[in-house]
């Protein structure tokens, strides 16, 4: 066996194991998150009065991030920054902080998506592997992409979506085939790890797809445009509100506190 072939096999084995490890970490995190989220939802539904404590929950989350999570408060933005320009390992604290913060938010009646939380946990935990293996910045990018996709796929119970998300996260709206095999391994390992740990995924009714017609394509395309406009308006509004609160409320923990009162 030639040295060149040996190097290829060694590298393939290395990335197969790293991708699988990324998947296991992301799957465990997603399973713990979904189990806690299920508990929080049932607890809130059984005790509706708990929503009156939402402002205090917001204050607690804001306080925690202000004093212990300033290095990771950018959340998904930090992960994207590191994917585009890898500099230093994402702090481990991102995973427990976003996990606890999201569960508390749901418990007290706030609104927080599960996908962003799972992406942050998957990417930050996968990035910890770079501390124990000789990985350069380009390879760290692969780990982050695989971890982000694995967390996404495991959280929503759709591993193929995790594969696509991992490759799409680098350039929004474009598929960058930077690590297709790594994303595939990590996402499916994460999904089956979450299933093995009995994570409570949402189950949706089967959709009966009607026969092909040009009118159907037209309406689906029209719906896509509407969804895109809605998403654009939402992100613009979110950024405007964030900028406004930064100007008017200088003490960060008070921002979620006041938002809780408003809700």
Please report the pLDDT score of residue 263 as a whole number: 86
- The string of pLDDT tens digits covering residues 43-58 is 999 999 999 999 999 9
Nearest to 181 by CA among 7, 41, 12: 12
- The string of pLDDT tens digits covering residues 6-36 is 666 777 788 889 999 999 999 999 999 999 9
Instruction: Quote the pTM value.
Output: 0.86
Residues 117-140 as b or e (16 or more Cβ within 10 Å = b): bbbbbbbbbbbbbbeeeebeeebb
- The string of pLDDT tens digits covering residues 80-94 is 777 777 778 888 899
Mean pLDDT of 149-165: 91
Please report the pLDDT score of residue 223 as a whole number: 97
pLDDT of residue 186 exceeding 90: yes
pLDDT of residue 2 exceeding 70: no
Which region among 28-42, 70-84, 234-248 has the lowest average model confidence (pLDDT)? Answer: 70-84
% of the chain exceeding 70 in pLDDT: 94
Number of residues that make up the chain = 263
Please report the pLDDT score of residue 169 as a whole number: 72
pLDDT of residue 175 exceeding 60: no
Please report the pLDDT score of residue 112 as a whole number: 83
Centroid of chain to Cα 186? 14
Nearest to 135 by CA among 150, 149, 119, 146: 146
pLDDT band for position 188 (cuts 50, 70, 90)? very high
pLDDT band for position 173 (cuts 50, 70, 90)? low
Mean pLDDT of 130-152: 86
Which region among 23-32, 118-127, 198-207 has the lowest average model confidence (pLDDT)? Answer: 198-207
Distance between CA atoms of residues 27 and 199, nearest Å = 9
Distance between CA atoms of residues 145 and 179, nearest Å = 8
Mean pLDDT of 98-114: 91
pLDDT of residue 191 exceeding 90: yes
Q: Are 196 and 35 in contact (CB under 8 A)?
A: no
């Amino acid at each position: 066996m030639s040295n060149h072939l040996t190097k290829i096999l060694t590298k393939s084995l290395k990335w197969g194991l790293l991708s699988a490890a990324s998947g296991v970490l992301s799957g465990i995190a997603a399973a713990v998150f979904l189990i806690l989220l299920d508990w929080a939802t049932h607890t809130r539904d059984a005790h509706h009065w708990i929503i009156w404590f939402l402002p205090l929950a917001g204050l607690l989350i804001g306080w925690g991030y202000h004093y212990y999570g300033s290095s990771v408060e950018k959340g998904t933005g930090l992960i994207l920054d590191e994917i585009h320009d890898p500099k230093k390992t994402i702090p481990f604290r991102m995973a427990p902080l976003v996990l606890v913060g999201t569960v508390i938010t749901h418990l007290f009646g706030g609104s927080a998506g599960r996908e962003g939380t799972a992406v942050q946990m998957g990417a930050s935990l996968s990035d910890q592997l770079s501390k124990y293996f000789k990985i350069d910045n380009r390879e760290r990018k692969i780990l982050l992409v695989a971890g982000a996709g694995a967390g996404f796929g495991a959280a929503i119970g759709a591993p193929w979506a995790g594969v696509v998300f991992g490759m799409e996260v680098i350039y929004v709206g474009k598929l960058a085939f930077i690590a297709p095999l790594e994303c595939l391994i990590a996402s499916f390992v994460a999904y089956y790890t979450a299933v093995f740990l009995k994570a409570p995924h949402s189950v949706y009714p089967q959709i009966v797809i009607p026969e092909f017609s040009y009118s159907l394509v037209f309406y689906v395309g029209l719906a896509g445009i509407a969804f895109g406009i809605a998403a654009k308006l939402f992100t613009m509004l979110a950024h405007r509100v964030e900028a406004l609160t930064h100007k008017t409320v200088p003490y960060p923990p008070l921002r979620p506190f006041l938002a809780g009162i408003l809700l």
